[in-house]
Amino acid sequence: MDSDKFKQLLHRYLNGMASDAEKEVIDAWYDSYRELEDPEVFGSNGDESRIASQMRQRLSGYWNPPRPLGLPNYLSYAAAILVLVVIGWLVYRVQDNDGAIDHRQAAAATDAAYYEVATAVRQVKKLILPDSSTVWVNASSRLRVPESFGKTSRELYLDEGEAFFEVAPNLDKPFVVYSRDIVTKVLGTAFNISNYQRLNQITVDVQHGKVRITDTNQQLLVNELTATQQLAYNTRTGDHEVSALTTGSASAWREGVVRLRNATFEEVALAVYNIYGIDLKAGNSQIHDHRYNLTIRTEHQLDEALRIICSIHQNQYRRENNEVIIY
């Protein structure tokens, strides 16, 4: 976040005008620097201890000022401290093994430039973007949207899970979705991306229009993926294949319907978890190798869904706490 934006955010915070999300940014920012007391961050090295002490003193004076400060001076002071702390933190947050910067802290500096849409199990969210495009986010998913979305570009990040995109056409600003190892680029279309990391696979399904897909090294995977086609990308090997869709709408999950065709046990287990919050386990390797053709509706009770799953290969199941074992 640049200094001007930080000043504006802090101004709203101090005057009680900040939104809940903005308050969380400021609170998280301040709370994170309390870790300066952590000996694992700043060890016994004399220079590191001296810098840590100076940073603590500056922070203490900022958050609990000894006397009232004029707002312009207050903001300038806060911005100066922000620069000091971020530089000091990134330089001295060093891991013992190879001296690498702690990437979790570095990422915290950039997260403020995005707003995140996250869903829990049994939850689907609908989002209208500033360009009038619509996104449906499936259960157990996480989507990041830049605060600047639509101003100079239309890029967003499906870090985890599944989402359906109905894109408003704009020839000047292609719509780009980053999902782990692949990049999907369109002008105006409707398509579905599934990027659940537990599956080691990313799929892109086009409902209408066409999309262009590359990997993150800008290597072309498919120039035009069209309606009723699917690209499946293996995140372990980097291999991919294009096939015809056989399950109808790729986004039937928006209406509470999960259609699985030639699905692996992992795909079935993921569907069960997203709908019921229950972990499905294979009791033996033979079950783990099964393939499934079935439809699960969110209106089904868990026991009904399990009976449907077990009927495919004549299996049984037993429930143990928050797990269901198929055997």
What is the predicted pLDDT for the residue at 179?
A: 97
What is the predicted pLDDT for the residue at 188?
A: 86
| Cα(130)–Cα(106) distance, integer angstroms | 28
What does the pLDDT average to over 108-132?
Answer: 85
How many other CB atoms are found less than 10 A from the CB of residue 81?
17
- The first and second tokens of residue 66, run together, are 């000894």
**Whose structure tokens read 């990437």?**
103
| Cα(218)–Cα(231) distance, integer angstroms | 16
Nearest residue to 63 via CA among 31, 41, 95, 24 = 31
| 256-326 fold | Phage tail protein beta-alpha-beta fold (3.55.50)
At 242-273, the pLDDT tens digits run 998 765 566 789 999 999 988 999 999 999 99
What does the pLDDT average to over 46-63?
Answer: 49
Element (H, E) at 61: helix 46-63
| Cα(327)–Cα(322) distance, integer angstroms | 16
| 114-244 fold | Jelly Rolls (2.60.120)
| Cα(37)–Cα(307) distance, integer angstroms | 55
| Cα(141)–Cα(104) distance, integer angstroms | 20
At 279-296, the pLDDT tens digits run 999 999 899 899 999 999
What does the pLDDT average to over 110-133?
Answer: 90
pTM for the model stands at 0.64
Q: What is the mean pLDDT of the chain?
A: 78
| Cα(274)–Cα(198) distance, integer angstroms | 12
Domain extent listing, the chain: 3-111, 114-244, 256-326
| Percent of residues, the chain, with pLDDT higher than 70 | 65
Nearest residue to 92 via CA among 84, 105, 101 = 101
| Cα(5)–Cα(22) distance, integer angstroms | 11
Same fold, 114-244 and 256-326: no
Alpha-helical (H) ranges within the chain are: 3-14, 20-32, 46-63, 71-92, 103-111, 265-276, 285-288, 302-312
| Cα(317)–Cα(326) distance, integer angstroms | 4
Which range, of 35-44, 127-136, 222-231, averages the lowest pLDDT? 35-44
**Whose structure tokens read 């930080």?**
6
